[in-house]
Structure 1
Amino acid sequence: MGWKAAEKLIRHWKILRGDNVMIIRRKDNGETGVIKRVIHSLHRLIVEGKNLKHIKQGQGREGGIFTVEAPIHASNVEVLDRVTGKPCKVWIRYLEDGIKVRVSRGIGASGSLIPRPEILKTRTTPRPTVPSLAELQ
């Protein structure tokens, strides 16, 4: 898959933090995990406990072997279908009452709804506080 095709695929993000995904390429091929972080600007994801890399001693770090989770390109993972447990494509559909939902689609997919992960209800960074008018005076 060329870069333009991959960029077109991820123009509208359908993969969210907290989704169960399967890695379909690279050294962790076939392994599953939960998305820990999404880096939109680089089109990359960090999957919990996968794509581990060693880092060397550096400024502010002691010597030794440390493993960190390296980012994976978004085109190298697919969301797992909840019913069949197989990797599938994610499509956006609207229900009759106008609610936007994610639906599994592709070979081995059941066509079931993929709910938004519960972890999205909690924020990773706190919202900035805006001072009230009374505090400014």
Structure 2
Amino acid sequence: MPTWPDDDVILFDGICIFCSRWVRFVAARDTAKRFRFTPIQSDYGAKLARTFGINPDDPDTNAVVHGGEALMKSDAALTVLSQLPGWGWVRILFAVPKPLRDPFYSFIARNRYRIFGKYESCFVPDRDLRARVIE
């Protein structure tokens, strides 16, 4: 598996309303400001996506680079949540086998625009969050 020089970077679909809400959810709870964010529509995000085999034009997952490795789908979401204050309890969900977790994740990912909608252009964060976005 390829490596990435930056750690604790969350790759997300910047036009997906659900994905953008996920970023705001994480940012609001990440009191240590550990995580940084990159929309897949940015040059940096597209390069990160391609490095890990994600199609930037049709992303089917978010990803997080954590501990030097890229995690995808339910592993990415659970890893991020488990690092947030008060959310360590989600680690227990890693006991659910990945072949059971990922289909649920994939269903939401495939239908995210239909269920939650999408922005016409990439999500623009407020000034505080903007400092944590890599483009």
State the TM-score, normalizing by the size of structure 1.
Answer: 0.25
**Larger RCO (CA within 8 A; separation ≥ 6):** 2
Higher Rg of the two aligned structures: 1
The structure richer in strand per residue is 1
